[in-house]
Amino acid sequence: MTLGEVLGAGTALLKAASFPIPQEAQSEPAPALDAALLLASVLKTDRTGLILREAEPVSAGELQQYTRLLERRLQGECVAWILGYKEFWGLSFTVSPEVLVPRPDTETLVEAGLAVIDRLPATEPCTLLDLCTGSGAVAIALKHERPGIEVYASDISPAALAVAKGNGARLLPKPGMYTIESDLFHRITGRFHIITANPPYVPSAVIPTLALEVRREPRLSLDGGADGLDLIRRILVQAKAHLYPGGTLLMEADPGQMQAITELLRNHGYRPITRIPDLSGMPRVITAGFTGSDS
């Protein structure tokens, strides 16, 4: 069989499998992309390489390896886990079952963070704390784009932090970013110009309805309690002791939670408060200015 034929068969196989699509899914299943990424990894090439080598034969051994990967995908394992990495912000992040796989929509948080960094006076050093960092995707993307800022990344999970550390060491020039194992601000001292977070925000009762591959991700990175806002509430209260006046808090959340979060932020004296849409046009990130007043 030629490479093109093998890819066609792999795509057809994944297309025919009926993965349940949950309401909350942030992206549609993409059988052609999944089939191509898996085949490219077997043939140690990329998607462009597949196109160039379309007419070449695939050996029996390679076909067998590919079939094994397709089977894992059919069992509901996500492609990022099978490959061990996920592209985010043009960078290749190592992922493991200990961390949430970085989602394309979370690039909205990076974009919003960059806009805030760029509004700070260039003469002032900028310190940034990324809470619930997981794989380190947000912290590393920001530091990669703006190497002059000082970035701290924290997570409650030592296993997740080890993944973040590894990604930081691989993707950033030294000294890179600093990592801190901490339950939100518990072990954080000092103040920052910017605090970012993609905390768990899925309501507990929604978790069993998520796609199998999402349910296999760490519950710690998804479960935000009864209304999904447990961590967000703690963050916006405690962040006031860790932001400089004029600093900004940026959080990712579900579009349906934006109104409630806006009210919480307003009640805690944050302003201005803005919502930023994700790739599908839904508000996904909320930014809040800390005025320095504690009301």
DSSP letter for 194, please: E
CA separation for the pair 204, 169 (Å, rounded) = 34
With the C-alpha atoms ordered 261, 263, 269, 271, is the resulting torsion angle positive or negative? positive
The C-alpha atoms of residue 31 and residue 74 are separated, in whole angstroms, by 11
Quick one: tokens of 212? 């199998």
198 has which bridge partners? none
Of residues 41 and 257, the one with the C-beta less far from ligand GLN: 257
x/- letters, 93..132, toward ligand GLN (CB under 6 A): -------x--x-----------------------------
Residue number, 6 or 110, with CB nearest to ligand GLN: 110
Span of 51-59, 110-118, 197-205, 241-249 interacting with ligand GLN by CB under 6 A: 197-205
- Between CA 93 and CA 135 the distance in angstroms is 7
- Name which of residues 11 to 50 contact ligand GLN (CB under 6 A): 24, 26
Q: Where are the beta strands (DSSP E) in 2-145?
A: 85-88, 91-94, 127-131
Residue of the chain from 141, 151, 214, 261 that contacts ligand GLN (CB under 6 A): 214
Sign of CA dihedral 160, 161, 164, 166: negative
Nearer to ligand GLN, 37 or 78 (CB): 78
* Interface size with ligand GLN, residues (CB under 6 A): 11
Segment contacting ligand GLN (CB under 6 A): 4-12, 86-94, 199-207, 264-272? 199-207
Q: Which of 185, 201, 270, 290 binds ligand GLN (CB under 6 A)?
A: 201
Both ends of the chain: CA-CA distance in Å? 69
Q: What is the contact surface with ligand GLN in residues (CB under 6 A)?
A: 24, 26, 100, 103, 198-202, 214, 222
